[in-house]
Amino acid sequence: MTAISIDNPVKNAVSPEPKYFDGLPVTGKQRRIVFLLAFGFFFDFMDNSNFGVVAPAILKLWHLSLQQIGWINSAFFIGMFIGGISGGHLSNVFGRKKVLLASIAFFSVFSLFNGLAPGFITFLLARLLTGIGTASLVVVTNLYLIEMLPGESRGRWQALVFALGVLGIPILGLLNKIIIPSGPEAWRVLYFLGGAGFLAFFAGLIWLRESPRWLVSKGRIAEAELILGDITGLDIRLNPSTSVPEKAFGLVYTIRSLTGQANLRRTIVLTSIFWVGYPAYAILGWLPTLFSKKGFSLDETASFSICLALGLTAASFVASLISDLGGRKWSIITLFLSAGILSLLYGHLESKYLIFGFVILFSLVVQALNPITSTYLAELYPTPIRGLAVGLIYSIGRIAIAFVQLLIAPISERFGDVGVFTFTAVLFAVPAAITALWGERTSGRSLENLAS
């Protein structure tokens, strides 16, 4: 192996030498990690979409009220709030690999539990626990990927994981047409499929390696060097002075770091994205309902839903092409502005075919923001606080989405579609403006350079 020395990344932030994986080509082992995590995301995305398909069946089977369906939805969001924070924090303490594998196993177990639930209470609990596993998996996967890939292309590979994972949504749609009509309890099969996530767990035991950056932050330099050598084929030497004190992982330290002078602007930018712009994504779940309220038939609404699924499926593939452009900052600004403009226009549309075309474009633009902003969130904070910081911002964003969900119905009743889509346009415009003002270019820069 060729010997390469990597000095302290803080002291030598502008060094032309590669740092960790930065400046090096993506190897076969890194590609294997990407496709393994995409496989895990496939079942995660499928489960996220399952309840919308399953709800009518269990509502009839268990004689539930719409309020009880709402409780189930709320339980899942509460679970995501818990899972995002706990997963991020635990990955700081125990390592990215261990918590990532634990998240896959946790999600897979409780996906099976969903399918076995005999009634409302157990199903409610199952959705809560599945939400914990889902959010933990999303948060820790984002952390792991940005730490295991070169700065020049980490956004593209991260988006590719989302792109392959989101294929679970149209496949679920096909399975729904085959499975749900076959019997009153056939819906359980859809959750049993989520248990196949265990395949990713067992493959991960063999193929995943601990993040060298996390190991260095714990002072385990020799282990980090061995993993770097195994993945890159190079004899990379790290400076022991890169080790970070244990106290850097605490909750109090993290909150102080987020609001301290060094990170305050970054925190304002990211909270505007995830607490203001991200909740506007809630409109995607309402689009079929708002379409049907215009007086269109069930067949026309089904066609509309297909157009929506096309946009959602294509979005992450498009994101993989543009994520690393404009330093990531300008990709985010452009997409938020585009989403705002399309939202304003969409609210005035009445023609069925114009709506079909617009919903493909609108859903593509909005969903493309998901992988790009997820990468942006994970790369803007230093390794010692990255896990908990990402978990906090992501999880509070889940609560914000639930809150916006509650606002859409009353806005629609009072102001109609124009009011709803003007509201979402404003939500999209806020992070576009704040990111333009204070956002940083991140693509192509090492995480250590950003941290310094």
Query: By mean pLDDT, which of 28-37, 148-157, 165-174, 424-433 is the weakest?
Result: 165-174
Please check whether residue 384 is in contact with residue 243, taking contact to mean a CB–CB distance below 8 angstroms: no
- Domains in the chain, CATH or no CATH each: 28-212 (1.20.1250.20), 248-445 (1.20.1250.20)
Q: What is the mean pLDDT of the chain?
A: 86
Please check whether residue 442 is in contact with residue 327, taking contact to mean a CB–CB distance below 8 angstroms: yes
Measuring CA to CA, which residue among 441, 396, 427 is closest to residue 84? Answer: 396
Question: What are the start-end ranges of the H helices in 149-233?
Answer: 154-165, 168-179, 188-194, 198-207, 212-217, 221-232
- pLDDT at 90 exceeding the cut of 90: yes
Average pLDDT of the residues in 420-449: 94
The share of the chain scoring above pLDDT 70, in percent, equals 93
What is the distance between the alpha carbons of residues 351 and 302, in angstroms, rounded to a whole number? 16
* Digit-coded pLDDT (tens) for 129-141: 999 999 999 999 9
What is the distance between the alpha carbons of residues 185 and 183, in angstroms, rounded to a whole number? 6
pLDDT band at 407 (very low <50, low <70, confident <90, very high): confident
- pLDDT at 15 exceeding the cut of 80: no
Query: Rounded to two decimals, what is the model's pTM?
Result: 0.85
Helix (H, G, I), strand (E, B) or coil at 413: helix
What is the distance between the alpha carbons of residues 95 and 288, in angstroms, rounded to a whole number? 41
> What single-letter amino acid sits at 298?
L
* Digit-coded pLDDT (tens) for 172-211: 777 777 787 788 888 888 888 888 888 899 999 999 999 9
Measuring CA to CA, which residue among 3, 35, 4, 7 is closest to residue 149? Answer: 35
Average pLDDT of the residues in 9-20: 44
The residue ranking higher by pLDDT, 43 or 275, is: 275
Please check whether residue 200 is in contact with residue 36, taking contact to mean a CB–CB distance below 8 angstroms: yes
**Phi, psi (degrees; rounded to nearest 5) at 385:** -110, 0
What is the distance between the alpha carbons of residues 24 and 432, in angstroms, rounded to a whole number? 32
3-state helix, strand and coil shares in percent for the chain, rounded to the nearest 5: 80, 0, 20
pLDDT band at 241 (very low <50, low <70, confident <90, very high): low
What is the distance between the alpha carbons of residues 135 and 125, in angstroms, rounded to a whole number? 16
What is the distance between the alpha carbons of residues 240 and 61, in angstroms, rounded to a whole number? 61
pLDDT band at 340 (very low <50, low <70, confident <90, very high): very high
- pLDDT at 375 exceeding the cut of 60: yes
Give the pLDDT confidence score for residue 11 in this predicted structure.
Answer: 37
- pLDDT at 320 exceeding the cut of 80: yes
pLDDT band at 374 (very low <50, low <70, confident <90, very high): very high
Burial profile 196-231: b = 16 or more Cβ within 10 angstroms, e = fewer: ebbebbebbeeebbbbbbbbbbbebbeebbebbbeb
* Digit-coded pLDDT (tens) for 50-61: 777 787 788 888
Question: What are the start-end ranges of the H helices in 211-263?
Answer: 212-217, 221-232, 251-259
What is the distance between the alpha carbons of residues 308 and 342, in angstroms, rounded to a whole number? 14
Query: By mean pLDDT, which of 8-17, 95-104, 154-163 is the weakest?
Result: 8-17
- pLDDT at 88 exceeding the cut of 50: yes
- pLDDT at 153 exceeding the cut of 70: yes
- Got the DSSP string for 91-113? HHHH-HHHHHHHHHHHHHHHHHH
HSE toward the beta carbon, residue 414, CA cutoff 13 A: 6
Measuring CA to CA, which residue among 181, 232, 176, 215 is closest to residue 33? Answer: 232
4 forms beta bridges with: 236
Average pLDDT of the residues in 385-410: 88
Give the pLDDT confidence score for residue 298 in this predicted structure.
Answer: 67
